[in-house]
Amino acid sequence: AVSMSAPNMEERKACWGARDELWECLERNNEDAAKCQHLRLSFESKCPQQWIKYFDRRRDYLKYKKKLENEGYSPPETTGRS
């Protein structure tokens, strides 16, 4: 794993690359983490721990946001009428 010191440019690029591959894989496989396990391991080995936590939260947020945009958020009080 990457040392706790701030990652240099090479390490950052490796981390971002691994993250992008993982995210693309998840999207292609409809969020089936099992199919992307090898990329997950690569991502975890190339990124500092706190980045992994941050990116995971970020991805959850982006997925949630996308879902709202796709399905539309309907506040409870408007459900009766369409």
- pLDDT for 16-54, tens place per residue? 999 999 999 999 999 999 999 999 999 999 999 999 999
Is the distance from CB of 26 to CB of 32 less than 8 angstroms? yes
Domain presence at residue 29: yes
pLDDT score recorded for residue 7: 79
Expressed as residue numbers, the domain containing 33 is 10-58
Domain presence at residue 52: yes
Please, which contacts does 61-70 make with residues 24 or more away whose CB atoms are closer than 8 Å?
63/31
Q: How many structural domains compose the chain?
A: 1
Domain presence at residue 68: no
Residue 77's pLDDT band (cuts 50, 70, 90): low
Residue located via tokens 């992307």: 36
Domain presence at residue 40: yes
| Predicted TM-score (pTM) of this structure | 0.75
